[in-house]
Amino acid sequence: MSILSAKFLDTYQNMRPDWGPLGEIVYNIFYSRFLEEQERKENWVDTCARVVTGVYNIEKQHCLQYDRPWDDDKGILDAHKMFELIYSFMFLPPGRGLWAMGSSSMSRHGGAPLNNCGFTSTKDVGKFPVVNLHGPDATYPFVWLMNMSMLGVGIGFDTRGAGQHGVQKPYYVASQWVIPDSREGWVESVRMQLAGFFYGETLPRFDYSRIRPKGSIIRGFGGIAAGPEPLIKLHQALETLLTTYIGRRFDSTMIVDVNNLIGRCVVSGNVRRSAEIALGDPDDILFTRLKTDFDKVAEYRYISNNSVIVGPDSDYQRLGALTAAYGEPGYFWRENARLFGRMNGIQNASDYNADGTNPCVEQTLWNLELCNVVETFINRHKSLHQYMRTLKMAYRYAKVVSLVKTGIPETDKIIERNRRIGCSMSGVARAFNRMGTAQVFDWSDKGYDYLTGLDADYSCWLGINRSIKRTSIKPSGTVPLLPGETPALNFPESEFYHRTIRVSVNDPILVDLDRAKYRIEPNQYGADGGGETMVVYIPVQEPEFVRAKNDVSMWEQLEHVVGMQRYWADNQVSCTITFDQKEAEDIPRALELYQDKLKAVAFLPKKQDIYPQAPIQPISPSEYATSLASLKPLVITGQKDAVAVGGCDGGSCSVL
C-alpha cells in the first residue's frame, strides 16, 4: 500500500505526464507492472507511488532496526517531494528501479535486481586446489556472473586468471540430476558442469523435465519463459569448449568464451538483457584479437564489450589501429580509477582495491561489488538551486538502494563498506547548447560539492559509511526516452528519424500499436530474432535540435568527456567516441594525449550506411510528416506484465 494518500495521488490522476515522443510506449513495454488485484496495468502515477513507497519503507525499516531517528511526518513530506520530481521527469531511477523498487521482486530476490551492474575478477582462480562446497572455488567468478546476470545485473569480468588453473576430464556417471525450475537450479547446473571440468569431479546427466515449457508466464520477475532450450544449448557449448582445453590451463580466450556463452544463455532464457565487459591485458594478443573472428563474434562473442587495462607504457599505436579497424578494444586506465575521484589533479586513493568496471564503464568496482545509479535531467532545470533540489532526492534514492542486502555475504560486505552510488546526468548535449559548456561544468562542480556535504549528513543520520564515490555519467538506454531527453553526453543522430523499439511477440501492446497504425515487422537480427520479437517504428522530431552527432568531431567529444570527468564524475564517464575515416589515424595520439585525464574510453566508427532495423534511422522532414500523418491516436489496453527485450536499463549497454 502506498504511503502517499489517495487525496495526494488523485491530484495527478487526471494529469497527462510530459511524455517524450516514445515515452508512453516505452513505459508500457518496460516498466508498467500488472496489478493482479485490480486486473489492470500500472499507470505512471502508480509506478511513481510504488517506487517512492519502496524508498520510504526501506529508510524507515533501517532507522527502526538500527535505532536511528525517524519522523513519519517528515518522511511523508519528503516522499511527496520525491514523487513530484520523478513524476515530472526531473530525475528517474534506473530502469530496474522503475521495474522492481517497491515490488514483490524485492522480497523474493533481495537488493540485486535494484543494482545496475557489478564486477567479478578471475584473479584468485588458482588459489582453490579442491572443490569447497562451503566456500569459493575456481568456478565462483563464472557462477557469480551467471547468478547476477539472471537477476538483470550487467557484469564486468577480467582475464587475470589466465594460466592459473587447469582443465581436467570430468568423471561422467550414469545418474541423473533433475534441474530445479528456478534461477538457482540453472546456476547450480552450470556450477556442477564447470566443477567437473575444473577438478575432474563427477558429472551426472542433466534432466531438464522440471523446467517450465516455452511460453509460460514468469510470475514476480515478469516475462515469458524460454523453456529449457537455452540451458541445454549452454551445457552443450561448454562441453564442446572445455573438452578442447583438457590438459591445458585457462587462457583469456577460454575465460571470455565461458562468460560469453553464459551471457548468451541469459539473453535467450530470461526477460532481461545480459550485458558484459571483458577486461584484458593489452599485451595478450589472444585477447585483443577475439573480435577479429567474425564467426564466433556472430555466434556468441557479441555478448561482451572488450577493453584493455592500459597505462603510460601501453602500445597505443598497435591498440589504436585495432580499434580503428574493428571498433574494439576499449580502454580502461585502472590506476587512474584507483588513485583519483574526479580527474582534477587531487589524489585520494579511495578505490585502492578497485579491480575493474561495469559493462558500460561508468562505475569503478571491486571484485564482487555491485553498484546502482540514478539519472538526473540537467536540461529540464532552470536554475542551479532547482537542480540541487533534484540532486538531493536523486542521491537519496541511490543511497537507499545500498541499504538493501543481496543475500550474498561477500557482495554485501563490500557494498556496506563502499556504499558506492552513481548520480548521473542525461540531456547534457542539450544543456551544452542552451547554457554553454562553461555553465554546465560550473553546475557540475557546485553540484558535486553539494552532494559531498549531503552524503556526510545523510550517512551520519543512517549510521552508515559515506559513499567512497557518488557521481558518474552512465550511457543510459530506455529511461531518457520517457521524457524524450538525449542520453548522457550524446548528441542526437538527426533532427528527424524513425526510432525502432523491439517488443516481445507476446506483449499485448502490439495490438494497440497495430490499431494506431504504427509500422511493425518481425525482428531479423540477433538472439531475439526468429519471430520471437517484433520491431516497431516510431517517427520522431528531435526538439531543440542544433547539431547531429556526425557534426561533432572526435576531439570535441573527448573534450566534453574530459570536462565531465574533471568537474562531475568521481566514478567514470561512460563514453563511446564516434570518429570518421579521417580521424581514425588520430586514435593512438588521442589515447596518449588524454591518458592522464580519463579513466575509460571506447570508440566507434560513424555510421556510413544505416542497416535495416537500426535503432535510429534518419529520415527527411517530408518522410516524418507522412509517417506522423498516417498514425491514429494510441490507446493502450494491455493486461500483462511487460517483457523487456533490450535497453541499457534492462541490463544491456546496447541501444534498442
At residue 60, the 3 state secondary structure works out as: helix
Whose CA is closest to 536, among 504, 506, 493?
A: 504
Cα angle: 144, vertex 145, 147; to 5 degrees? 65
**Under a CB-based contact definition with an 8 Å cutoff, are residues 96 and 113 in contact?**
yes
- Alpha-carbon gap, residue 650 to 26, rounded angstroms: 12
Sign of the CA dihedral running 640, 646, 652, 656: negative
Sign of the CA dihedral running 40, 43, 45, 51: positive
Q: Extract the runs of DSSP E, i.e. beta strands, from 82-197.
A: 91-92, 117-120, 154-158, 171-178
- Alpha-carbon gap, residue 602 to 305, rounded angstroms: 9
Please state, in angstroms and as integers, the Cα–Cα distance from residue 13 to each residue in 9, 25, 31, 47, 86, following that order: 7, 18, 18, 12, 15
Give the three cell numbers for residue 638: 494491455
**Under a CB-based contact definition with an 8 Å cutoff, are residues 538 and 419 in contact?**
no
Give the three cell numbers for residue 316: 597505443
Catalytic residues: 360, 362
**Under a CB-based contact definition with an 8 Å cutoff, are residues 471 and 422 in contact?**
yes
Q: Extract the runs of DSSP E, i.e. beta strands, from 10-148.
A: 34-35, 40-41, 91-92, 117-120
Give the three cell numbers for residue 517: 497504425
- Alpha-carbon gap, residue 371 to 343, rounded angstroms: 20
**Under a CB-based contact definition with an 8 Å cutoff, are residues 251 and 242 in contact?**
no
Whose CA is closest to 256, among 290, 295, 231, 298?
A: 290
